[in-house]
């Protein structure tokens, strides 16, 4: 099991792809954002898995979750705030709406959080082809297609969408840990099987960054460190 912490470390990825610094807002020497779009698993989920039928009512919906900060369970797999909460707070933004809690453009004016507890980087069908059953049917490709849907809701024109993205922070939280842990829990538990997933998981994460490069053509290159 010593492999897992190391894999987690490798999978840990925080990418802030900045848009152009908004002319009106560089007051504190930092770019000003109007909203955050975030992706990931339970380390970033602020309410989706409490709504998703397969995970609703899970342990995180009961005390002591939420006791340190919110005073009640609030959909986070934590007794307090998550890293995404601190980032949003320090930017002075309202928290992004958990994707499954919103419907209309108005719901997502302050961004959207697509992260789902238990989500995998790889698609359930791919994992299944390796003998790994995932118990939460949400992968990075679901999250990116949800993201495209929200962008379309907010503005149906390419130009409008580029404008939105120029003032948005993209937060790619940790993802991939569940893929590896499901090898142990639902797969054949071999290190070889876990290792065989590595290039695929890295590729799935990279594909999100590629999407973001298309949408943030201006200065995305200097914030990522492809290895």
Ligand X SMILES: *[C@@H]1O[C@H](CO)[C@@H](O)[C@H](O)[C@H]1NC(C)=O
- Which residue from 130, 162, 200, 223 is in contact with ligand X, where contact means CB under 6 A? 130
CB of residue 156 to ligand X, shortest distance in Å = 22
* Per CB under 6 A, 131 contacts ligand X: yes
Residues 215/50, Cβ–Cβ less than 8 Å = no
List 172's β-bridge partners, or say none. 39
Q: How far apart are the first and last CA of the chain?
A: 25
CB of 131 to ligand X, least distance (A): 5
Instruction: Using CB under 6 A, pick the residue from 107, 137, 198, 211 that binds ligand X.
Output: 137
CB nearer ligand X, residue 19 or residue 58: 58
x-or-dash string of contact with ligand X, 168-207, rule CB under 6 A: --------------------x-x-xx--------------
The minimum distance between CB 158 and ligand X, in angstroms, equals 24
Q: What tokens were used for 98? A: 């958990």
Judged by CB under 6 A, the number of residues near ligand X is 9
Q: How far is the CB of 189 from ligand X (least distance, A)?
A: 8
Q: Which of 71, 13, 7, 6 lies closest to 40 in space, CA to CA?
A: 13
CB 73 within 8 A of CB 205: no
Residue 104, classed as helix, strand or coil, is coil
Residue 139 DSSP class: B
Specify which residues 38 forms β-bridges with: 113, 171
Q: Tell me the sheet residues that pair with 98.
A: 113
- For ligand X, the closer of residues 50 and 165 by Cβ is 50
The residues that touch ligand X, with contacts defined as CB under 6 A, are: 130-131, 137-138, 142, 188, 190, 192-193
């Amino acid at each position: 099991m010593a492999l897992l912490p190391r894999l987690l470390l490798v999978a840990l990825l925080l990418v802030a792809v900045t848009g152009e610094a908004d002319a009106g807002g560089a007051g504190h020497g930092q770019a000003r954002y109007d909203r955050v779009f975030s992706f990931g698993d339970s380390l970033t989920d602020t309410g989706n898995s409490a709504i998703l039928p397969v995970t609703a009512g899970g342990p995180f919906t009961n005390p002591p979750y939420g006791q340190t900060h919110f005073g009640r369970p609030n959909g986070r797999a934590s007794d307090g705030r998550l890293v995404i909460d601190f980032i949003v707070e320090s930017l002075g933004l309202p928290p992004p709406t958990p994707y499954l809690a919103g419907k209309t453009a108005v719901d997502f004016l302050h961004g959207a959080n697509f992260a789902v507890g238990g989500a995998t980087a790889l698609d359930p069908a791919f994992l299944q082809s390796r003998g790994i059953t995932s118990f939460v049917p949400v992968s990075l490709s679901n999250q990116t297609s949800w993201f495209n849907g929200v962008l379309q809701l907010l503005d149906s024109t390419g130009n409008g969408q580029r404008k939105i993205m120029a003032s948005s922070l993209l937060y790619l939280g940790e993802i991939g840990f569940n893929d590896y842990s499901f090898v142990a829990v639902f797969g054949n538990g071999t290190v070889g099987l876990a290792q065989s997933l590595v290039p695929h998981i890295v590729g799935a994460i990279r594909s999100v960054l590629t999407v973001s490069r298309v949408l943030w053509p201006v200065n995305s290159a200097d914030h990522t460190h492809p290895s």
